[in-house]
Amino acid sequence: MAVNPIYHQTKSTLLQERDWIMEAKKDPERFGPLYTKYHEQIFRYVYQRMDDQEQAFDVTSQVFIKALSNLHKYEYRGVPFSSWLYRIAKSELYQSFRDRKAKRTVNVDTVHLADITEEFDDDDLVADKSKLIRCLAELREADLQLIELRYFEKRAYREIGEILDVTENNAKVKTFRALERLKKQFLK
């Protein structure tokens, strides 16, 4: 499974990121490199869960405005800055749904659906895509989020853990359980 290359950083790039953050805390204009680095990543995360492209750009901007406004509260914990940005993005995303009274969107790539059915470990299962999509829509929000992060966005468990503020192992277990629930739903 392919992984997100921006997430996996060496220690030196993490330290460089920390320096950028410290400089940005003193002077907001120094936030530029962080913005350039993470804009696409955050936009893709937001757009994955939204219909409208313009709305997704607006929410992404809002994420960075929030991040810059609250940068003084940020504490470096040895993980990429994106973990913090994802948490802001999640909050802004749901705020946007509430404000616009809009429904959350799941963008499904049919290629990735095959990855899910592979995980079901049952040779007798015939991949009924439309049924699987229906089952996905019926999943709880937390479970759907885990499936989305792991199978549609191809994120590492460690990254999922940092986005959801849980440990890597916990993320793995939770994803497995979510998949089990999806399978159960699918076999009904």
C-alpha 59/C-alpha 44 separation (Å) is: 11
- Are 49 and 104 within 8 A, CB to CB? yes
Least distance in angstroms from the C-beta of 106 to other proteins: 5
Query: With contact defined as beta carbons under 8 Å apart, do 51 and 105 qualify?
Result: yes
Among 15, 19, 22, 69, binds other proteins (CB under 8 A): 69
Asked if 64 is part of the footprint of other proteins (rule: CB under 8 A), the reply reads yes
Phi then psi for residue 105, to 5 deg, are -110, 145
**19 forms part of the interface with other proteins (CB under 8 A):** no
The yes or no reply on residue 128 touching other proteins (CB under 8 A) is no
Q: Which one of residues 29, 75, 121, 124 is an interface residue with other proteins (CB under 8 A)?
A: 29
Among 6, 79, 106, 156, binds other proteins (CB under 8 A): 106
Is 35 a residue that touches other proteins (CB under 8 A)?
yes
Residue 133 within binding range of other proteins, rule CB under 8 A: yes
Question: Does the protein bind other proteins through residue 144 (CB under 8 A)?
Answer: yes
- In Å, how far are 39, 85, 86, 148 from 16, measured between CA atoms? 18, 17, 20, 30
Distance CA 60, CA 93 (A): 9
Our CB check for other proteins shows the closer of 28 and 165 to be 28
Among 8, 15, 19, 40, binds other proteins (CB under 8 A): 40
Figure out which of the listed residues 15, 137, 173, 187 binds other proteins, where binding follows CB under 8 A: 137
Cα separation values, 99 from 50, 95, 130, Å: 14, 6, 30
The tokens for 93 are 């995303």
Rg (CA), the chain: 18
Interaction of residue 95 with other proteins, rule CB under 8 A: no
Whether residue 21 contacts residue 82, with contact meaning beta carbons closer than 8 Å, is answered with: no
Residue 103 in contact with other proteins, rule: CB under 8 A: yes
Which spans of this chain sit near other proteins (rule: CB under 8 A)?
A: 28-29, 31-32, 35-36, 39-40, 43-44, 47, 51, 53, 57, 61, 64-65, 68-69, 103-110, 133, 136-137, 144
